[in-house]
């Protein structure tokens, strides 16, 4: 890859990810160059936005269009990889294999992959336990069973959530390629909502909420994202309220 990273380089990464069935190798060097590319374009726009000349306005419009296309390409790249991680997790769960294939995964993708396998396995066990234990012995989970520490989280993925870590966490990277961590047990920090949701699924953090509202505040955007399919319609109604 050329020393100066371009939109064409980013699109080539997307093209390879799109037309190959497996996760493509994207190195930290690639990520650094992508970040430098966006930083350079944003810096240029900030400097040129103060100029009102016809030439600069045309050039400014061209760069803005390129930057918007680059953002879409990066989002598409993430979504292609996300689908592959989910598919790999489903395959691993169905094969009941103790070996975990994390080839070409970033740290956050690996965390998502392992979390999904755990959730899929638990859901599978609970389903077949319905027939072993008898339906009358099955307890349907409700919103009231959610931990009381899960206060309302932001609906925007990039908004920050104050959390306390219940386990050691390695360095995580968000979709803007910003690094977070590492974190130690008992440490408090702010994380983007999407990373917080993943760690909450693994019970490796708890949400720190300054508000002291009643139990109704427990229903959150996190529940909307992660409510198990087996939950009743009553739970969904409570969540919306």
DSSP 69-133: HHHHHHHHHHHHHHHHHHHHHHHHHHHT-S----TT--HHHHHHHHHHHHHHHHHHHHHHHHHHH
Same domain, yes or no: 133 and 24: yes
Domain that holds residue 167: 139-240
> What's phi and psi for 217, nearest 5 deg?
-70, -10
In this structure, is the dihedral angle defined by the CA atoms of residues 105, 109, 115 and 119, taken in order, positive or negative?
negative
Same domain, yes or no: 24 and 112: yes
Could you give the CA distance from residue 153 to residue 151 in angstroms, rounded to a whole number? 6
**Residue 14: other Cβ atoms inside 10 A:** 18
Two structure tokens written together for 229: 């399919």
Same domain, yes or no: 86 and 175: no
Which of 88, 104, 138 is the last residue before a domain boundary?
138
Domain tally for the chain? 2
Max avg pLDDT among 41-50, 128-137, 181-190:
181-190
Same domain, yes or no: 132 and 148: no
> What's phi and psi for 214, nearest 5 deg?
-70, -170
Same domain, yes or no: 103 and 153: no
pLDDT in tens, 72-115: 999 999 999 999 999 999 999 998 877 889 999 999 999 999 99
Could you give the CA distance from residue 67 to residue 154 in angstroms, rounded to a whole number? 26
Same domain, yes or no: 112 and 191: no
- Cis link prior to 182 (omega < 30° from 0)? yes
Could you give the CA distance from residue 120 to residue 166 in angstroms, rounded to a whole number? 22
Same domain, yes or no: 44 and 104: yes
Same domain, yes or no: 106 and 155: no
Question: Residue 138: helix, strand or coil by DSSP?
Answer: coil
Length of the chain in terms of residues written: 241
The alpha carbon of 53 is separated from its chain's Cα centroid by a whole number of angstroms, namely 42
Q: What is the pLDDT of residue 48?
A: 75
pLDDT in tens, 16-67: 999 999 999 999 899 999 999 999 998 888 877 666 555 567 778 888 899 9
């Amino acid at each position: 890859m050329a020393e100066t990273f371009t939109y064409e380089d980013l699109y080539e990464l997307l093209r390879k990810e799109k037309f190959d069935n497996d996760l493509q190798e994207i190195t930290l060097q690639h990520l650094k160059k992508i970040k430098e590319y966006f930083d350079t374009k944003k810096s240029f726009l900030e400097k040129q936005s103060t100029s009102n000349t016809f030439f600069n306005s045309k050039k400014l419009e061209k760069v803005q269009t390129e930057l918007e296309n680059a953002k879409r390409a990066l989002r598409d790249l993430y979504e292609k990889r996300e689908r592959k991680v989910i598919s790999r997790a489903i395959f691993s769960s169905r094969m009941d294999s103790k070996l975990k294939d994390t080839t070409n995964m970033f740290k956050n993708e690996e965390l998502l992959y392992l979390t999904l396998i755990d959730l899929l396995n638990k859901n599978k066990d609970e389903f077949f336990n319905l027939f072993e234990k008898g339906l009358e012995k099955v307890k349907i989970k409700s919103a009231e069973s959610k931990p009381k520490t899960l206060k309302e989280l932001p609906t925007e993925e990039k908004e920050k959530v104050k959390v306390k870590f219940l386990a050691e966490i390695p360095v995580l990277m968000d979709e803007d390629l910003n690094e977070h961590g590492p974190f130690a047990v008992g440490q408090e920090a702010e994380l983007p909502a999407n990373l917080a949701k993943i760690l909450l699924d693994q019970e490796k953090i708890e949400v720190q909420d300054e508000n002291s509202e009643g139990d109704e505040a427990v229903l959150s955007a996190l529940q909307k994202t992660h409510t198990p399919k087996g939950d009743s319609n009553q739970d969904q109604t409570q969540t919306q309220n």
